[in-house]
């Protein structure tokens, strides 16, 4: 049995994503795979990474985090490799200045091997190893603020945060708690997001347009109007995005309840339907081709915003449209000099 076939068997038996070291350990222990090589873990890691890169969505595997792999059952929600993340075994190696604050924090915590760190120490290590390129005078405050902001936003969207806040400035990685309630909640939320997208894809066209109108109103649009289907000229919804009662941007939206990716001609069609001082936005339940993305960003033309099905579901969840939130009240002991200490 090949290393990849053995990895499939191990992941099927585990029923959850595993670190490549654990995949290798279980494959060797159960006799599913054997090798004379001196670095079997590195071999498994490399083969999994190459298979995902070579086969893309057709791969049997998906990356759930740095060094963490699972079966490709729901590729849309798996984390993709960021440019600044190295697959090397040596810790703290990355392209100088290539990481955001949150990506740098994840890299440093990866090197901590399961031990939470204070955000000041995370920042110091990130700067020492050239993971950050910042001119700010308070990088520690920026680091903490961005980790908090990302964590809050992912929770609002029903996604599993990368980080867990442990109090007193201590930060850990959520994937260290793969068996925790948080992991189980994320698995349930992932299924709910998939079901929501399928439900949206099955909506009648008129209902889908009304849904988009409701979403735009929820995220700060005024004067939202679902246009007449006989007079829309390709535009389904119009509205004005208001920012701070100062900036007002007229937006013309075309919605596409499609299974296939949107191509460049659709971008050109939307541009041709724009009124004076309007910008365009296309919302689809699928995705966009590379040509469409390039056309949308063409510098000599009016920009057209693109929203994929995954992004649409994230906004629907964040604004509780089509879903409801169930609070979980967990009780934990605190270690702050309280009783019996």
Report domain extents, the chain: 3-77, 101-179, 204-318
Where is mean pLDDT largest: 5-19, 51-65, 73-87?
5-19
- Confidence check: pLDDT of 294 > 70: yes
pLDDT interval class at 330 (50, 70, 90): low
Q: Are 47 and 58 in contact (CB under 8 A)?
A: no
Neighbours of 62 (CB within 10 A): 22
User: What is the Cα–Cα distance from 85 to 140, expressed in whole angstroms?
Assistant: 21
* Interval 44-62: pLDDT, tens: 888 888 888 788 878 888 8
C-alpha closest to that of 126 among 80, 94, 157, 159: 94
Tell me what the mean pLDDT of segment 106-128 comes to. Answer: 88
pLDDT interval class at 282 (50, 70, 90): very high
- Confidence check: pLDDT of 341 > 50: no
Indicate the CATH number of 204-318 among 3.30.1340.10, 1.10.10.10, 3.40.1350.10, 3.90.550.10.
Answer: 3.40.1350.10
* Interval 216-237: pLDDT, tens: 888 888 888 888 654 545 788 8
User: What tokens appear for 146 in the block?
Assistant: 């961005």
Q: Are 110 and 66 in contact (CB under 8 A)?
A: yes
User: What is the Cα–Cα distance from 297 to 305, expressed in whole angstroms?
Assistant: 8
User: What is the Cα–Cα distance from 261 to 84, expressed in whole angstroms?
Assistant: 28
Which run of H or of E encompasses 238? Answer: strand 237-243
Q: 240: which strand partners?
A: 222, 250
Length of the chain: 341
Q: Enter the pTM of the model.
A: 0.49
The pLDDT of residue 288: 93
Q: By three-state DSSP, how is residue 189 classified?
A: helix
- Confidence check: pLDDT of 134 > 80: no
**Number of helices (H), then strands (E), in the chain:** 11, 11
């Amino acid at each position: 049995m090949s290393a990849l076939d053995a990895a499939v068997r191990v992941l099927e038996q585990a029923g959850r994503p595993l670190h490549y070291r654990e995949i290798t350990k279980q494959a060797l222990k159960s006799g599913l795979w054997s090798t004379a090589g001196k670095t079997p873990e590195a071999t498994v890691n490399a083969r999994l990474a190459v298979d995902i890169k070579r086969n893309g969505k057709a791969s049997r595997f998906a990356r759930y985090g740095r060094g963490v792999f699972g079966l490709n059952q729901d590729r849309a929600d798996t984390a993709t490799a960021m440019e600044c993340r190295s697959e090397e075994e040596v810790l703290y190696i990355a392209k100088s200045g290539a990481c955001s604050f949150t990506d740098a924090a994840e890299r440093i915590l990866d090197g901590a091997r399961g031990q939470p760190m204070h955000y000041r120490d995370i920042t110091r290590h990130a700067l020492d190893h050239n993971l950050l390129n910042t001119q700010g005078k308070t990088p520690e405050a920026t680091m903490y603020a961005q980790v908090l902001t990302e964590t809050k936003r992912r929770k609002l969207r029903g996604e599993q945060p990368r980080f867990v806040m442990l109090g007193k400035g201590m930060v850990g990685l959520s994937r260290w708690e793969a068996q925790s309630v948080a992991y189980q909640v994320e698995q349930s939320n992932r299924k709910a997001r998939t079901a929501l997208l399928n439900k949206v894809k099955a909506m009648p066209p008129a209902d889908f347009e009304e849904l988009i109108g409701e979403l735009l109103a929820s995220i700060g649009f005024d004067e939202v109007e679902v246009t007449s289907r006989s007079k829309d000229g390709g535009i389904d919804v119009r509205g004005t995005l208001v920012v701070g009662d100062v900036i007002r941007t007229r937006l013309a939206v075309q919605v596409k309840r499609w299974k296939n990716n949107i191509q460049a001609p659709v971008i050109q069609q939307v541009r041709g339907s724009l009124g004076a001082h309007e910008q365009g936005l296309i919302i689809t339940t699928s995705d966009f081709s590379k040509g469409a993305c390039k056309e949308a960003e063409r510098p000599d033309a009016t920009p057209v915003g693109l929203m994929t099905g995954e992004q649409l579901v994230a906004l629907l969840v964040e604004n509780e449209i089509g879903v409801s939130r169930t609070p979980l009240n967990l009780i934990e002991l605190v270690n702050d000099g309280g009783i019996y200490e």
